[in-house]
Amino acid sequence: MRLIMKKLKYIVAAYAVFAAFAYTFTAFDNRAFSGQEEPDVSALQEKAQSAIMNFQKALKGELMAAMQKGGPKAAVEICNEKAPQIAEKINLDENVIISRTSLKVRNPGNAPDDWEKKTLQNFEKRKTGGEAIKTMNASQYDGETFTYMKPIPMMGMCSACHGTNVSKPLYEHISQYYPDDKAIGFKPGDIRGAFVVQISSEN
């Protein structure tokens, strides 16, 4: 009898191992992960880059239209309301989580986590070392989630709201939404922040 119990234990253990394996492989149905122990980094990078391109394009379009129509004051609402909505749409369309972060944030909700902060500091170092912002990126995979970061350059059209000379009435308007704002004082060519794209292996 004891022998049978022992055997049964082995069978249960073996089944559990098998089930865990089967689960692991069926859970990985995101194409770049499927059936592989190591993720296909270049496929994931491509997916992240395409999400960033679509996000950037949509955001810039909305921002420029709002600036032309109602000036920077009206455009603050676009950044406040539309940016998260556009991100949400990209997330659903492309099965990713996209966001923006910075070493100096306007919205505290965009503050970087530890890895993001280190990566942003590293981007600054690389820029000081002479590397072009345009070609910089970084990624990591923690066994569950692939995270990709790409710096966002400060441009002329951003100066109205993030520059060294933001008009007083506009800044008062911004401060009503963001009393803890740190996102001013940037010059064209600076790194304003970065896009962050997370792609999960389990969706």
Chain residues binding ligand HEC by CB under 6 A are 63, 72, 75-76, 79-80, 83, 100-102, 105-107, 110, 152, 154-155, 157-158, 160-162, 183, 192-193
Q: Give 103 or 199: the residue with its C-beta nearer to ligand HEC.
A: 103
Q: Give 32 or 75: the residue with its C-beta nearer to ligand HEC.
A: 75
Q: Give 63 or 199: the residue with its C-beta nearer to ligand HEC.
A: 63
To the nearest whole angstrom, how small is the minimum distance from the Cβ of residue 89 to ligand HEC?
15
To the nearest whole angstrom, how small is the minimum distance from the Cβ of residue 102 to ligand HEC?
4
To the nearest whole angstrom, how small is the minimum distance from the Cβ of residue 145 to ligand HEC?
21
Q: Give 44 or 196: the residue with its C-beta nearer to ligand HEC.
A: 196
To the nearest whole angstrom, how small is the minimum distance from the Cβ of residue 147 to ligand HEC?
17
Q: Give 48 or 83: the residue with its C-beta nearer to ligand HEC.
A: 83
**Residues 6 or more apart in contact with residue 110 via CB below 8 angstroms:** 99, 100, 101, 102, 193
To the nearest whole angstrom, how small is the minimum distance from the Cβ of residue 100 to ligand HEC?
4
